[in-house]
Amino acid sequence: MRAALFLVLFAALGLAGCGDGDMADQPSLRDQEASDIWGIGTSVRPLPEGAIAQIAPATEAALAVPPPVSEALLHRGQEDFETFCAPCHGFAGDGDGIIVQRGFSPPPSYHSPRLRAAPASHFIDVITNGFGAMYSFADRVTPEERWAIVAYIRALQLSREASLAEFPEASEKLR
């Protein structure tokens, strides 16, 4: 009798597991999953009007103070520059990237006297807010990455105006 009761209970439990539950597609929503919960066909929630990101103060703080320049920072800057900026600005910053060759309006060269003289904060501002035809990259480039990119742009600029006298070791090697 006892055993039969257990069997029935067990079977009931098993059946309860069937139902409409497809384990591969659970009711919880995943990133960018197709769903009609917000009426726009995706699980990405539209921002309510006037919403401010929780990380906004941290972002602002990170953008206010430049980090110390190191070799690691420059390497990171190079990688991010080549992903996000070089398609238009070119790998050397002359403003002749592949997207420009395909018809995008040409950006100014980073080696122009005006952009050489521009403060780092101007570059940060352009990445954050966009500039004319150039869209904002705030959605793709974190504050740390923005500083790394600017450091790399500075290195690119320096590479055009450096003189041998500034690098005695290099002139040694040339002889």
List residues near ligand HEC by CB under 6 A.
84-85, 87-89, 99, 102, 104-105, 107-108, 123, 126-127, 131-134, 137, 141, 149
| Options 69, 87, 118, 154; binder of another protein; rule CB under 8 A | 87
**Is the CB of 7 or the CB of 45 nearer to ligand HEC?**
45
The answer to whether the CB of 155 falls within 8 A of the CB of 149 is no
The answer to whether the CB of 42 falls within 8 A of the CB of 32 is yes
Say which entry of ligand HEC, another protein, none residue 42 contacts (CB below 5 to 8 A, set by partner kind).
Answer: another protein
Say which entry of another protein, ligand HEC, none residue 166 contacts (CB below 5 to 8 A, set by partner kind).
Answer: none
- Residue number with the shortest CB distance to ligand HEC? 132
Spell out the alpha helix ranges (H) of the chain.
2-18, 56-64, 71-84, 86-89, 98-101, 113-117, 120-129, 143-161, 168-174
| Options 6, 8, 57, 105; binder of another protein; rule CB under 8 A | 105
Beta-bridge mates of residue 42: 34
Beta-bridge mates of residue 134: 131
